[in-house]
Structure 1
Amino acid sequence: MSKLAEFRRAERELQKQMALLEQLQADASLQREMEFEDKLKVLMADYGMDLAKVVAILNPQPVELEPVVPAAVKQRRPRQVKVYVQPVTGKRIETKGANHAQLKVRIPR
């Protein structure tokens, strides 16, 4: 590309950018934003705050708490199977607890 063509292309881009700049300068919302920024900088200087502190105040991040994990519940060891023999009938009873119906049978005298 020749120097003249490169110059003309840069000149056209500059004209486009200048037109965009003029359009933005005339925008009322941009004027309000610039005024807000100036006032904010003055307030930050008055209170000795930097931008990071102001952002942290305006947009606090939620504190992530570690999920509460219930304490490990101690598991009881499984009961052992016990073998009882009914003395009168000689019947064998296998149970894990002594609260068995056959064990509570009263022997008549």
Structure 2
Amino acid sequence: MASVLSDHIKKEQLLKQLQEELKALENNSELKKDIEFKERLKALMSEYGNSSKNVCAMLDPPYRNTASKSTKTSNSDGRKQRPLKVYKNPHSGEMVETRGGNHKVIQEWKAGYGNEEVVSWIVEERA
């Protein structure tokens, strides 16, 4: 019984402390401004029929969901993505875009013309 009573007393003290902190927060002018902003923002969203998710997407677009993968800066495992290299074969005019060195066509070109020759065919390199 004593442990239940002491637990009750501790909880009452904690409740009193939290109520005092809450009163102090309610008098905080910064909190009042934030609450006013939130209420006005909700009214605006309601007026225009937008959800908070839509508003956040407008203000900070989720680039990882765009159709263009060139805006992606890192892989799913957090590593930085390799730059995109565009090769143009001067003999055939064929163009190849790749982020790695294991591209089948690039490997064939390197086998036929040599690594240094094929590397000189890079016409564009972008992140």
The TM-score range, normalised by the shorter chain, is 0.5 to 0.7
The aligned counterpart of 1:94 is: none
In structure 1, give the amino acid aligned to 2:109.
K
Regions of 4+ moved over 6 Å: none
% of aligned pairs identical?
Answer: 26
2:85 to 51, 56, 69: 69
Q: Tell me the TM-score normalised to structure 1 length.
A: 0.61
Secondary structure, counterpart of 1:6 in structure 2: helix
In structure 1, give the amino acid aligned to 2:85.
V
Residues paired across the two proteins, number: 78
The aligned counterpart of 1:44 is: 45
Q: Tell me the TM-score normalised to structure 2 length.
A: 0.53
Q: CA offsets per residue over residues 50-72 of structure 1, 9 Å max, x none? A: 11111111122446516533223
Q: Root-mean-square deviation (CA), in Å?
A: 2.3
In structure 2, give the amino acid aligned to 1:74.
W
Is 2:13 the counterpart of 1:3?
A: no
The aligned counterpart of 1:28 is: 29
Larger RCO: 1 or 2 (CA < 8 Å, sep 6+): 2
Quote the Cα distance in structure 2 between the aligned partners of 1:77 and 1:10: 80
| Greater mean alpha carbon deviation, residues 52-61 or residues 66-75 | 66-75
Cα 1:2–1:60, aligned 2, differ >3 Å: closer, same or farther? same
Quote the Cα distance in structure 2 between the aligned partners of 1:2 and 1:37: 44
